[in-house]
Amino acid sequence: MKKILLLLLISSYTYAFTLVGSSIAVFEEGDITVNVGAQACTNVTDSPDELLNLVSEATEKFWNRVSTSELELQVGSLQTISASFYTDQICSSGAGCVPAVSSGILIVCNSNTTTFNSASKLAVALPNNVSGSNIVGAIVAINDAAGTSFNTQTREEKISVLAHEIGHAFGLGHSKFKDSLMFPANQSGRTNLGRDDWDGATFLYPKEQGPMGLCGTTTDVSKSGPGNYPTVLLLLFGLFLIGNQIMRGKKLFVKIN
């Protein structure tokens, strides 16, 4: 009975978040290290140490707060890496592309004018080391071309830009809702994740206890009798989510091609 209820909840719930590709790809574990390239940027005025501090704030302010997800972004260190990461095009294969990131998420400044053909393009992200449905490594590149608009962003805006791109790096696409971190335009004054962001992180990196964890109970349901209150709570919570999503009229898995 409990399995049937869980299946009902999962299959009936609909999502408005999108995926970074045409199919689901995630890191094998939710514990993901985020490193920063140690080389100083050419045009971006933030030092590598300052960028590492921004990354720390971005992870703690946004993604590490999703209590329903096993996602736990760890701030790594400054890494000495190939010079190609700073100059080559951000693409996944072929001549002239940056090297594949060996593991985790790597954040670098990048001055390639094919990738950054406009000063207003603040940053880009790409899982460029993927094995099947597993992301092995991903790159986040900050616009370091001449005239970059990254320098004109406030500190809070830089934090949200990095958090947005980190979302792409671990598998999320864009959201159509302006209150979401994954909305494609940087919104000033953004301080929290939107519902779509939360749902997306939970879907891609769910905690092992599944939706039951949302009900806030640690009861051993295997010892419950016919009056199984956790099961009832799960059913009620599932019905609430289903009804709420129907009201919002969202479609299932609107993916980016």
In a domain, residue 255? The reply is no
48 and 115 housed in the same domain: yes
Task: Output the pLDDT for position 252.
Answer: 32
Give domain status of residue 196, yes or no.
Answer: yes
Mean pLDDT by groups of 10 residues along the chain of 257 residues: 36 53 85 99 98 98 97 98 98 91 99 97 97 97 98 96 97 92 80 93 84 35 40 48 47 33
Query: Is residue 53 one of the residues assigned to a domain?
Result: yes
Return the closest-CA partner of residue 113 out of 124, 126, 100.
124
170 and 43 housed in the same domain: yes
Backbone angles phi, psi at 180, to 5 degrees: -95, 145
| CA distances, 223 to each of 111, 226, 234, 236 (Å) | 60, 10, 16, 20
Indicate which CATH number applies to the domain containing 96.
3.40.390.10
Is 134 in the same domain as 224? no
Which residue range forms the structural domain that includes residue 235?
2-13+209-248
In a domain? residue 256: no
Q: Is residue 87 domain-shared with residue 143, that is, in the same domain?
A: yes
Are 8 and 96 part of one and the same domain? no
Count of domains for the chain: 2
| Domain match, 158 and 214 both | no
